Structure 1
Amino acid sequence: MSTPTEPKIKRYRRDDLEEKSESSSEDEKEVYVPLRERRKEILLKTGRLAQLNDEDSNRKSSSDNERDEEDGKVWGRKSNISLLDQHTELKKMAEAKKESAMERQLKEEEKILESVAERKALMGVAELAKGIQYEESVRTSWRAPQCVARLGEGRHEKVRKKFRILVEGDEIPPPCLSFEEMKFPRAIIAALALKKIEKPTPIQIQGIPTILSGRDIIGIAFTGSGKTLVFILPLVMFCLEQETKMPFIKNEGPYGLIICPSRELAKQTHDIIKHFTSHLIKSGFPELRCVLAIGGVPVGESLDLISRGVHIMVATPGRLMDMLDKKMVKLDICRYLVMDEADRMIDMGFEEDVRTIFSFFKGQRQTLLFSATMPKKIQNFARSALVRPITINVGRAGAASINVIQEVEYVKQEAKIVYLLECLQKTSPPVLIFAEKKQDVDAIHEYLLLKGIEAVAIHGGKDQEERSRSVEAFRAGKKDVLVATDVASKGLDFQDIQHVINYDMPDDVENYVHRIGRTGRSGKTGIATTFINKANDESVLLDLKHLLIEAKQKVPPFLAELQSENEKYLDLGDERGCSYCGGLGHRITNCPKLEAIQSKQASNIGRRDYLANNAADY
């Protein structure tokens, strides 16, 4: 059987196929033609050869210049530059690169601060709606003595430099070095002497004359520096002046309002005011009435005093807002507002409550903000509520007291409560023990009682009567140890606290500063012992490490080993550490507090929408 033969192809078709196959094989072998060559061909075809030659010559000249510059930067044996000159030049280049990196870091931080900055001013709702702006400070009758005013600005600057007082603002009143120069009556000076206060502290030297002059201030000073007297003494004098000129009638007042973050601090402030007003009455001055409005105390007691006409009101935000909403108290004639530990009330989303309180004022007020820890972000926001403010800063905002010896010890979680007994042997009583959780406070209190130690405890879960009884027993020396949460960390003044023990390191280094500030007050020395272990967040430990370095305290090896990723950026420009929370161990770019707040806000968005939709359905 014959095999089938392929069909014959005509000659002319066969020739065409062979040519195609040859051309395709040539195409496959063809290499990539660079863009410059292809442009050259196009330019040649279009007759623009002259333009091409000009471009080539320019390119060659520029490349030659670059090569010359690179040749000028060649380092090594072949270079004719000395090793010293090479080292100097390389050092300059490294510094230039470092500066540019710092500039980038600062720009990035500015963007973050701008994104988290509060757009709405810290003012009352009515003031914001009507666009009310106060240009002039509140006028008062107080003037600095001529003997002080005549000394000149040069002397005033020397005094501020001597006492390390940093002041920002315009037309700053002169500092006064004695209570007599501040023109206080003999009854007030005698009352100060009973408290063993003979001369003013640095914050009082500049702060009291500034407030007496009617200026709004932001006062920042370390714990135990006497900030409370800075705003109490001028307020007492202003109320005394008002009562003398025109006595307060029924249901009138208050003239001055002091807002405190905790009940214990509010009660302590009220007691200090009562100390001075009682001495004024003994010396023949009119009676000044001061009311305390805090949670856990019957409202009826406050209302009885308010109905008689009240000069000063000390309150916590919750009780104050409740009384304002129910019209139990009015701020129609209130012209003096103090926010003690102001950063805590402004921070963490409480600014709307502050705006609500501001809205009850019927006119301009003199606003005073005080704290030991007030980051730049809070200061900038707070300034929007102030008129021609003066910032008085004694030491860095958030710095620990130099009179406290800080000891940090690594203690395992299960060994803490047993090690407490050993720590209590370091000093004689009274001793303060701080813990984060209420159940830890109760457990420590029970353990100490079982070991025969006279101890009391306070936290937010206890009723006000028990809290007040415990604090008074500890203050009177009837009990040796007070175990507490952070309700006792801010502003409370206990006499002669020898030792503060932090059972656990707080999540916020600001709380740590407030806690250890309960000892080492009024120039005395105290000890603070803090337990840390692996359960603590590394960012808080880094903040603690740099706080210890700043205060020239001993840094334990396990803390010294900790290193942050951006250690080189901790000191940039005028700002140290984080400009958001004030922590020294990190920058705002990796602030855990800011991250936590943003996460909380993000998680609440959907929940808020869900609740709003459900509310609309009903």
Structure 2
Amino acid sequence: MAEPAYKRRRTNQRSPSPPTYKLDDDNDDNVELYVPVAQRRQAKLAKLTSWGNSSEQTARQQQLEQEEREDEEREEERKREKARKERTLLMEAQEVHSKKAEEDSKKTEQEKAEEVDAEILAAIASRRKLASDLELAKGVSYADSLKTSWRPPRFIAARSEEQHQRLREKYHIIVDGEDPPPPIENFTDMKVPDVLVKFLKSKRITKPTPIQLQGIPTAFAGRDMIGIAFTGSGKTLAFCLPIIMFALEEETRLPYVRGEGPVGVILCPSRELATQTYENVLTWTAAMAKDGKYPQLNTLLCIGGIAMGEQSHVLNKGLHIVVATPGRLIDMLEKRRFTFDNCKYLCMDEADRMIDLGFEDDVRNIMSFFKRQRQTLLFSATMPRKIQDFAQQSLVKPVLVNVGRAGAANLDVLQVVEYVKQEAKMVYLLECLQKTPPPVIIFSENKNEVDDIQEYLLLKGVEAVAIHGSKTQEERQYAIKSFKSGAKDVMVASGVASKGLDFNDIQHVIIFSMPKEIEDYVHQIGRTGRSGKTGIATTFVNMNTPEQTLLDLKYLLMEAGQKVPPFLQSIDDPRAAQGGSLKGCPVCGGLGHGISNCPKLEDTQRRQMASHRGGDDRGGGGY
């Protein structure tokens, strides 16, 4: 049966009448109409006149006055509240800005610049301590330095602090820190084994350099240390000798077997510097084990670009010393090819470059593999105040050993600055090569320019090799070995060869393109004038060189007592017009600018932004 069709019906509904609102509702007692103060006063006076008794009148008068005062206070509060509601945040910001502008108008340009510098320093000073994440999370801190078995000879320990200080002043050593160990003038009194002392003498190293004179006893005593000295001053021996002695002590006490070690690790920012340090350690340990009096120590080179299988014979034995770059070291630790369970010595060569070039997180990651307190040593030729302060917060009772100003040029290098037009550089380069016999190093900041210079020199019959970050590891090793052996006369290099590398008998360094950061210039000219020898550094500058860089160069030449060419003398320092003393930059140590326009700080910020975008701008030396 079909269902009946559903019919829709319209229902007549009355629409509700619209609501009515009474605007004047006299019956609403909750509404309080506002009555002006004058009318209220008149009403109260009218009431007062109706009262008859004088005593009551006096009381009522007092009550009325009290009520009037309360009314006035309420009226004032109402006005303030109304004004507060009408006041906007924009008006308050304008008032604050006007006050600040008025205060700034009373300050000098020098005071304003100092305030800006202080704000930038405060912003970059809020860095985490250079410790492992586990130590930072648990709040682990160490109150005392590591204890070692080394003690200075009695006759040296018996000297007064005034005698120690006179000896430091004799060698221009500045020491800062709590109870620093005494300086010692010869290796024998440092208790260095005789066989190593004889070997050093055979290499014409007869007495310690200033950084070794104070730095080696400091490291032997187990103290954390910040070592600063000019290029070519013997810093490598100052931090390698202590780790060799500690490893010998551990091996003599109980020989290491497979899976044990290392005793210490040396971190370097580039593969070339790590390779050079590794070769030095091998040389010194082999010299001590030569007559059989001391055991042979096993040293591992841990860098990118080489197969670790080539060093399996080292990993199959007890491991004493590791020389590494950060990236490959982290990879080996994560794969547990060895551990830092018993490692108690950490040295960072070119430490400021390591921290500034994006390796800070890698270093902190490496520290997380340590299972106990370690002795930490930081060495560099250029360590500005910012890095020193940061390092002192991270170390345990550190001793700062400073030979000369951090970032100052080596006084054994004759610096010659010449104005050469860009198009004339190549031709003039051949003339400069005639100044001294080979070997010669030529530095350029541009990788393509490095290859162009090498090709030009080869066409002119000059035996030249090139090295920069885009070269393969085999090409870089070949370039360094052939140059060191004398097979090649000239090495054309980027900044990768300027940090710590030691080449024999380099008399001349040519800086084809002046680097923006004055620290890089100091490292580059430091490839000559090493180990007490003299050398020449010729630098090309022109209109392409930033004026700020030229100003840094001018002050560096003046500090070193070098000849300042007229075109550099004509450059005025804009800070001089502001009045006050001219201070160096605390970030890079440059004398010609402040922190607000520091090229190193700008480059660091650029690297950080690149890392946030997922890029890797650290070059090829880290892994």
Q: TM-score range by the shorter chain?
A: 0.7 to 0.9
Cα deviation, residue 441, structure 1: 1.3
SS in 1 for 2:394: coil
Q: What residue in structure 2 maps to residue 366 of structure 1?
A: 375
Counterpart among 172, 184, 195 of residue 187 in structure 1 = 195
Residues 1:305 and 2:314 are matched in the alignment: yes
CA shift at 1:253, angstroms?
A: 1.0
Q: Secondary structure at the match of 1:416?
A: helix
> Cα distance, 1:302 vs. partner?
3.2
Conservation of the 8 A alpha-carbon contact between 2:483 and 2:490: yes
CA distance in 2: counterparts of 1:304 and 1:262, whole angstroms: 24
* Residue of structure 2 aligned with 1:518, choices 513, 527, 544: 527
Match status 1:196 vs 2:204? yes
2:278 aligns with one of 270, 275, 282: 270
Contact 2:348–2:377 (Cα < 8 Å) also in 1: yes
Q: For residues 564 and 601 of structure 1, what CA distance do their matches in structure 2 show? A: 30
Output the amino acid matched with 1:576: K
Give 1:491-510 correspondences, 5 Å limit.
Answer: 491-510=500-519
> Do structure 1's residue 169 and structure 2's residue 177 form an aligned pair?
yes
Q: Give 3-state SS (helix, strand or coil) of 1:442's partner.
A: helix
- Superposed CA RMSD in Å reads 2.1
Q: 1:184 to 1:597 in 2, by over 3 A?
A: closer
Alpha-carbon distance, 1:106 to partner: 3.8
2:584 alignment partner AA: G
CA distance in 2, matches of 1:147, 1:98: 61
For residue 303 of structure 1, report the CA deviation from its aligned partner: 3.8
| Residue 144 of structure 1, aligned match among 144, 147, 152 | 152
For 2:484, which of 475, 482, 486 is the aligned residue? 475
- After superposition, give the CA deviation of every residue in 1:201-251 in whole Å (9 maximum; x if it has no partner): 000000000000000000000000000000111111110000000110111
Q: Residue in 1 aligned with 2:592? A: 585
* Alignment-mate amino acid for residue 324 of structure 2: A
Query: Does the CA contact (< 8 Å) of 1:570 and 1:586 recur in 2?
Result: no
- Match among 250, 261, 273 for residue 269 of structure 2: 261
Does the Cα contact within 8 Å between 2:110 and 2:579 map onto a contact in 1? no
Residues 236-251 of structure 1: matches in 2 within 5 Å? 236-251=244-259
Q: 1:111 to 1:145 in 2, by over 3 A?
A: same
The counterpart of 2:550, out of the listed 541, 565, 570, is 541
CA displacement, residues 124-148 of structure 1 (integer Å, 9 cap, x when unaligned): 0000011100111011000010111
Alpha-carbon distance between aligned partners in 1 of 2:568 and 2:439, rounded to the nearest angstrom: 29
Query: Is the alpha carbon distance of 1:291 and 1:501 closer, same or farther for their aligned partners in structure 2, counting shifts above 3 Å?
Result: same
Q: Give yes or no for contact 1:143–1:213 (8 Å, CA) kept in 2.
A: yes
| 2:55 alignment counterpart | none
Alpha-carbon contact 2:516-2:599 (below 8 Å) kept: no
How far apart, in 2, do the equivalents of 1:569 and 1:397 lie?
Answer: 26
- Decide which of 282, 307, 319 is 2:328's aligned counterpart: 319
Q: CA deviation at 1:421?
A: 0.3
- 1:126 matched to 2:134: yes
The residue identity in structure 2 corresponding to 1:512 is Y
Q: Does 1:413 align with 2:422?
A: yes
- Alignment-derived partner of residue 56 in structure 1: none
2:164 pairs, out of 156, 162, 167, with: 156
In structure 2, the CA distance between the partners of 1:442 and 1:190, relative to structure 1 (3 Å rule), is same
Shift of 1:375: 0.8
Distance 2:261 2:374 in 1: 14
Distance in 2 between the 1:98 and 1:548 partners?
37
Q: 1:401-440 counterparts in 2 under 5 A?
A: 401-440=410-449
> Partners in 2 of 1:489 and 1:515 — Cα distance?
5
Could you report, residue by residue, the CA deviation over 1:157-208 in whole angstroms, capped at 9, with x for unpaired residues? 0011111100000111100000011001111101211221000000000000
Q: Is the 8 A contact 1:191 1:275 kept in 2?
A: no
> How many residues are matched?
510
| Distance in 2 between residues matched to 1:243 and 1:594, nearest whole Å | 45
Q: Match of 2:18?
A: none
Tell me if structure 1 keeps the 8 A contact 2:356–2:604.
Answer: no
CA distance in 1, matches of 2:314, 2:614: 41
1:376 equivalent in alignment to 2:385 = yes
Aligned partners of 1:253 and 1:306 also within 8 Å: no
1:362, 1:110 → 2: CA distance? 38
Partner of 2:122: 114
Aligned equivalents of 1:435, 1:372: Cα separation in 2: 20
Distance 2:163 2:580 in 1: 32
Q: Which amino acid aligns with 1:547?
A: L
The 3 A distance-change label for structure 1 pair 255 and 419 is same
Residue deviations 1:356-403 (CA, integer Å, cap 9, x gap): 111111110000000000111111112232100000000000000001
SS in structure 1 of the partner of residue 338 of structure 2: coil
- How far the C-alpha of 1:115 sits from its partner, in A, is 1.3
1:273-309 deviation digits (Å, cap 9, x = unpaired): 1111111111221110111111111011234312211
Q: Kindly indicate whether residue 238 of structure 2 is the aligned counterpart of residue 230 of structure 1.
A: yes
Structure 1 residues 247-285: Cα deviation after superposition (integer angstroms, max 9, x where no partner): 101111111100111111111111111111111111221
Question: Secondary structure at 2:417's aligned position in 1?
Answer: strand
1:556 to 561, 565, 576: 565
Query: Of 573, 578, 583, which residue of structure 2 is paired with 1:576?
Result: 583
- Alpha-carbon distance, 1:331 to partner: 1.1
Q: CA deviation at 1:100?
A: 7.5
**CA–CA distance in structure 1, aligned partners of residues 359 and 159 of structure 2:** 44
* CA distance 1:167–1:437, change in 2 (3 Å): same
SS in 2 for 1:511: helix
* Superimposed CA distance per residue, residues 539-579 of structure 1 (whole angstroms, 9 cap, x where no aligned partner): 1111111111111111111111112311367984xx83111
Q: For residues 143 and 603 of structure 1, what CA distance do their matches in structure 2 show?
A: 49
State the AA in 2 paired with 1:199: K
Alpha-carbon separation, structure 2, partners of 1:405 and 1:561? 21
Are 1:531 and 2:540 matched, yes or no?
Answer: yes
Residue identity in the other structure for 2:179: E
Bigger Rg, which one: 2
Seen in structure 2, the aligned counterparts of structure 1 residues 599 and 186 have a Cα distance that, compared at 3 Å, is: closer
1:477-530 Cα deviation digits (max 9, x unpaired): 222111111111011111110100001001211110000000011111100001
Classify 1:570/1:488 alpha carbon distance in 2 versus 1 (closer, same or farther; 3 Å). farther
AA of the residue aligned to 2:345: Y
Q: CA deviation at 1:99?
A: 11
Deviation at 1:463, TM superposition (A): 1.8
Q: TM-score, normalised by structure 1?
A: 0.79
Q: Which has the larger displacement, 197-206 or 292-301?
A: 292-301
The 1-side partners of 2:392 and 2:464 are apart by 43
